[in-house]
Structure 1
Amino acid sequence: MPRVLVDAAAVPADRGALIRYVDGLVAALHRAGADLAVVCQRAEAERYRLLAPSAHVLTGPVAITNRAARLAWEQSGLPLLARQVGADVIHAPYYSIPIRSGLPIVVTVHDATWFTEHDRHNPRASFFRSATRTAVRHAQRVIVPSKATRDELVRVLSADPTRIDVAYHGVDLMQFHPPSEEEVHRAAARCGLHGQPYVAFLGALAPRKNVPNLIRGFASAVKALEKPPALVLGGGVHEDDVDAACREVEATVKVVRPGYLRAPDLPGFLGGALVVAFPSRGEGFGLPVLEAMACGAPVLTTCRTSLPEVGGDAVAYTEPDAGSIAAAIGQLLASPERRAQLRQAGLARAGEFTWDASAEAHLSSYQRAIE
């Protein structure tokens, strides 16, 4: 079996869904018996040793906590390290790659919305567009988490579809599970809800996530209710357009922004919600949808890009405009039976996405790169 070097040092400090991808993949590669080396930042070394006890875990220099230094090290230090550990292939899990490594490169491109939704990204999007173009041009294999992302790369970058491999993400059912009453109570208490029911959102409060329209749609859906639920926006930094949408809603509408939530609180937060609403305008995969289903939450999302590949018939769908979101949330809040149906369907659907299956797809891609 070839030796694979996974560059986990590329994981950004804010972690989020990317770290769940890298962690889930590394642990599953270990279970599959892969000959695995992992390079990471020093603060993460012990975690990777626990995730993959048989892996050769190495740490990069201290300076790579700085983004510019890490990118420079990626071009020279990473290939040198790969040769030192006898790697046959390098897996770059976050867009950017070493250009002249002397070894086959497999890169994960997580989504194409840097191109298709370019006006809904922050100024850093120019880096990701450049990194994606370079990766698609120079890597031996490109791994994407959905067929929709593959098709978009072919459409917008004229990428060679024969060099792109689809490997769906999985979900860790130990971490994401139907919560106990205690877990629900603890998560709600951390959000300051004091027993008030709520609709949940989890993810970055970035423009393409469509949070302002979620706020407006939610406010419209609950304004006539005698005891309306709250809307809780978990994760991400506060964006100006989100602040503006919050100022538009009536004082009787409660919008809570607790910031990043601790990993142990996520099952209670997601599974305890009346509805998990994720009306994104475009996703490479949509991991929050899968994780919410695994927690037994009724999920509302859009029928855009990869989201139908993840949700299938187990979620409710809406258009991304505020009016459609209002109608969809209103229908779900008015129908406990429909929410119960979605809970059961979502649990069954989530069971179809495993990190073990994802690891097998990655191993096949590594072998193709070497060949």
Structure 2
Amino acid sequence: MSGVRVLVDATSVPADRGGVGRYVDGLLAALADTPDDIELFVVCQRTDAERYVALAPGAEVIAAPAAVAHRPARLAWEQTGLPLLAQQLDVDVLHSPFYSCPLRAGCPVTVTIHDATFFTEREHYDRHRGAFMRSAIKTSLRRASRIIVPSKATRDELIRLLDADAAKMDVAYHGVDPESFYIPDDAERARVAARLGLGDTGYIAFLGVMEPRKNVPNLVRGWARAVADRPNPPALVLAGGSGHDDAIDEAVAEIPAHLKVVRPGYLRFTDLPGYLGGALVAAYPSHGEGFGLPIVEAMACGAPVLTTPRLSLPEVGGDAVAYTSEEVDDIADDLAALLDDEQRRAKLSLLGVERAREFTWANSAAAHLATWRKAAGKAS
């Protein structure tokens, strides 16, 4: 079986290493362990070049022009400089990992479309960003040789909403890195709790960007109702990027003075196992996800997870997580029930660890490689 030459455009990866960063990092590291089948090229932000050289030994890493650090310049370069680079490298396939792609690439293009919530949850996105992303998704569905999605739910939504061609879509689940997300020991839990200024009353953990789709205001209100009358109420920790959800501030302002909300912003990557694994519950009552990487990472760290049965979340969580709705009263009732049932939390912790092991970057890399071979006309 002949190899395939692939250029991965990593210039869209943000500095905070959020979901798309974890996806690209995990994928490239796993591809580096794929023998013989791929000749890999990676173009990235100049600040990421050393990182990708270390992550993907054997890949040729190319630093993009410095201007692409600014989004308008990056989008312009995607349409002009990226196709030229693909031509110079004589690649079989160009892979765009974040929704958009060149209109004329000169070679087959594959695109990862992470979710369809820009269409189903329009009210939860900034108007201009939402309009751009909807246009990018429609263009990629029309122009790309093949589409990669991280869940069957996302595939089905694209078919339902946009009449996408099922025959050219492939599901490649994300993975979780067991060296980065694992069950922490007591010392690691205590270190992170101390760094966050938490006592010994425990805490509920949220990890993600503070954007409306994540439903953080209702989590704040639901948590407050669930713990307000307890003698030692657990804190709520909202970790992640600030996003654009002003309603979070309003919800936090409403909580009683004896309750504690901690908003540390981005946590150090090395603190995430201690943070997630040290939580009484990892709560993620999202309106919908294309995959739900934070719940898999929380499960891998041994955290009992409370989430919603929306879109891909039950596909990923299965029977290893607890479910609630997006509404405040349901979040309050279901969170309280979990806090009162230590035995159930322990069972969910064990089930979650086992479930998380099913999602590996090696499997994801194999699925991507199969897609690229199809796009290049080199499928076996």
What interval of TM-score do these two structures reach, taking the shorter chain for normalisation? over 0.9
The one-letter code of the counterpart of 1:20 is R
Aligned residues: 371
Q: Partner of 1:289 in structure 2?
A: 295
- Which moves more between the two structures, 179-188 or 242-251? 179-188
The structural deviation recorded for 1:57 is 0.6
> Would you say 1:76 and 2:80 are equivalent positions?
yes
Q: What are the residue-to-residue correspondences of 1:190-209 with 2, within 5 Å?
A: 190-209=195-214
1:251-284, Cα deviation, whole Å (9 max, x unpaired): 1121111111110000000000000000001000
SS at match of 2:190: helix
Aligned pair partner of 2:18 in 16, 19, 37? 16
> Would you say 1:308 and 2:310 are equivalent positions?
no
Aligned pair partner of 2:342 in 314, 336, 339? 336
The structural deviation recorded for 1:361 is 0.5
CA distance in 2, matches of 1:249, 1:43: 41
CA distance in 2, matches of 1:188, 1:86: 51
Aligned pair partner of 1:129 in 125, 129, 134? 134
Q: Partner of 1:65 in structure 2?
A: 69
SS at match of 1:102: coil
1:101-160, Cα deviation, whole Å (9 max, x unpaired): 110000000110000001011232211111111111100001000000001111111111
CA distance in 2, matches of 1:191, 1:48: 31
CA distance in 2, matches of 1:131, 1:196: 46
Q: Which runs of 4+ in 1 moved over 4 A?
A: none
Q: Partner of 1:233 in structure 2?
A: 238
CA distance in 2, matches of 1:46, 1:364: 28
Q: Partner of 1:253 in structure 2?
A: 259
Q: Partner of 2:220 in structure 1?
A: 215
Q: Partner of 2:143 in structure 1?
A: 138
Q: Partner of 1:321 in structure 2?
A: 327
CA distance in 1, matches of 2:91, 2:192: 43
CA distance in 1, matches of 2:136, 2:195: 38
SS at match of 1:313: helix
The one-letter code of the counterpart of 1:47 is R
Q: What are the residue-to-residue correspondences of 1:14-163 with 2, within 5 Å?
A: 14-33=16-35, 34-123=38-127, 124-163=129-168
CA root-mean-square deviation: 1.0
CA distance in 2, matches of 1:31, 1:210: 38
The one-letter code of the counterpart of 1:19 is G
The structural deviation recorded for 1:370 is 1.4
Q: Which runs of 5+ in 2 are unaligned?
A: none
CA distance in 2, matches of 1:36, 1:330: 49
Q: Partner of 1:5 in structure 2?
A: 7
The structural deviation recorded for 1:80 is 1.1
The structural deviation recorded for 1:17 is 1.1
The structural deviation recorded for 1:35 is 1.2
The structural deviation recorded for 1:14 is 3.5
The one-letter code of the counterpart of 1:40 is C
The structural deviation recorded for 1:180 is 1.6
SS at match of 1:201: strand
CA distance in 1, matches of 2:92, 2:80: 17
> Would you say 1:185 and 2:190 are equivalent positions?
yes
SS at match of 1:31: coil
The one-letter code of the counterpart of 1:185 is A
CA distance in 2, matches of 1:194, 1:249: 19
The one-letter code of the counterpart of 1:320 is E
Q: Partner of 2:304 in structure 1?
A: 298
The structural deviation recorded for 1:15 is 2.9
CA distance in 1, matches of 2:189, 2:248: 26
Q: Which runs of 5+ in 1 are unaligned?
A: none
When normalised by structure 2's length, the TM-score is: 0.96
CA distance in 2, matches of 1:329, 1:83: 54
Q: Partner of 2:174 in structure 1?
A: 169
1:18-48, Cα deviation, whole Å (9 max, x unpaired): 1000000001111112210000111111110
The structural deviation recorded for 1:191 is 1.5
The structural deviation recorded for 1:61 is 0.5
The one-letter code of the counterpart of 1:365 is T
